[in-house]
Amino acid sequence: MADDAAVTLDGTGCDIGVERPSGPYRSANRTPLTDVTGRPVGELSLAPPLLIRQVIKEMRAAPGQAADERLAALARAGELFATATLAGETPGMYCRRQALVSGLPASVARRTLDRVALAGRAAADTLTAQRPSGAVPFEDLSFGDLAAAGRTSAGAAAVWVRKGDVLGVLAPGNHPATHVEWLGALALGYRVAVRPSQRDPFTPRRLVRALREAGLAPGYVALLPTTHAHAEALVDGADLGLVYGGDSVVARYADSRRVLAQGPGRSKVLITRDVPWRSHLDTVADSVAADAGVQCLNASAVLCEDDAPGLAHALAERLARLPLLPPGHPDAALPVRPLDEARRFAEQLHESVGPRLAGPDADPVDRFLADLGDGSAVLRPVVVPLDSARDPRFGVELPFPYVAVAPWEPELRPAAFGRTLALTVLSEDADLVRECVASPLIRNTHWGAVPTHWSRPGLPHDGALAEFLRESKTFAGEAALRGPVR
């Protein structure tokens, strides 16, 4: 079917093609796109390695664009993504499609509209915030004459330079807002080739369309759907790579200087005895279950010094109130999966945590999922009370609201947390908070009733992407030989 030619009233009927600098392309090799009930809704073109290499070559050869024009295009694209009809797709239609195929509540995509708009407006300020103090962007240097080299009275400067020209992104499908990250690469002057997840090809396609409509030069962005087997061709063909995945993906690229691997967040909440947890149950529940609990910033573990079992019980009761609804429903709050996939999840959970929660004879289907009767099932929240944070289940992260609750033992100190993307600390102990901020294992520390998933454009996520994509170099002219040393 032609792209968007068969849009039905429920938002289905959409093909996803390759978006290359020269325009849309429909590959001969395609795979069905299905929603969470198993119903076909369209087809996804799959780019072979030869086409991937050709598109990257086109991107390298395409004309560049001035930084101020790119930043203006990013700001405009954010607004278009949130408000415009793009190639016949309204914002509401995008949210519906994204929800039906990914299984996430439609409210997640609706919030992503605003997050992308905000990121676009903030792109210029984010770029300034991430640039090292005192460094000069390479694009601001003048090479018109030798005397101007260095651009300082001392004739020399630290110059902020890209490490390459093309970034290959293997995008995840867990949350649509993850695509905000590679918008920052465009602001830094990179050409970005994105391989979308088959669970969410709609968000990056809408972004590509918005960027081009906003005036970004065509050579700066491409959408390259492909198989898992051929995804490596995109990373190999680009100068640098940004990939997402589990622990195995992180381990695979651990020694690579040209690939940044983003893995599980294992975010946590810590509550010490001097803060009553009952007063902060809303913050804990929000940290665990906001946006269906699928973000790396959602808490998957809680440490509580005072009555951890009581907190686990109260949290389980709170999360059990979340409605069990299909993803397109306006009140949906939990992820939905095809029934067979959900059953496999339930069986695995029953083996690892089920007897502790509901007794050895409990039916895993009833405990861990809710069959919607249409071929799909809601994944219910799971709260696992543990006797110790040393229990291996304390480090588990799953793609729905799953949280282990264990007693906080002060002698453990922050080093015992393991790698933690975001930590919310509910405590009056300033020394403890200082340790958390200083710990190399904790990437973001929130003090007080700030949910683990809180973020703001311009602040680092897992470090700043600019730290990976750019570096500072020295550039000196002859004037440096005469200038003072400062």
pLDDT in tens, 169-224: 999 999 999 999 999 999 999 999 999 999 999 999 999 999 999 999 999 999 99
pLDDT in tens, 321-355: 999 999 999 999 999 999 999 999 888 888 877 65
pLDDT in tens, 63-75: 999 999 999 999 9
DSSP one-letter string for 78-118: HHHHHH--BTTB-HHHHHHHHHHHH-S-HHHHHHHHHHHHH
Q: Which long-range contacts (CB under 8 A, 24 or more apart) does 313-316 make?
A: 313/385, 314/278, 314/281, 315/281, 315/284, 315/285, 315/288, 315/383, 315/403, 315/405, 316/381, 316/383
pLDDT in tens, 7-22: 444 445 589 999 999 8
**Partners of 174 in the β-ladder:** none
Find the mean pLDDT for residues 35-45.
95
Q: How far apart are CA 411 and CA 389, in angstroms?
A: 12
Domain residue ranges in the chain: 18-262, 267-334+382-447, 339-380
Task: Answer whether residue 370 shows pLDDT above 80.
Answer: yes
Q: Architecture of domain 267-334+382-447 in CATH?
A: 3-Layer(aba) Sandwich (3.40)
**pLDDT at site 227:** 95
Find the mean pLDDT for residues 116-139.
92
Instruction: Report residue 155's pLDDT band, with 50, 70 and 90 as the boundaries.
Output: confident
End-to-end, the C-alpha distance of the chain in Å comes to 66
CATH number of 18-262: 3.40.605.10
Average pLDDT, the chain: 91
Looking at the chain, the whole-number percentage of residues with pLDDT higher than 90 is 78
3-state DSSP assignment of residue 211: helix
pLDDT in tens, 239-296: 999 999 999 999 999 989 999 999 999 999 999 999 999 999 999 999 999 999 999 9
Of 419, 471, 465, 51, the residue nearest 242 (C-alpha): 465
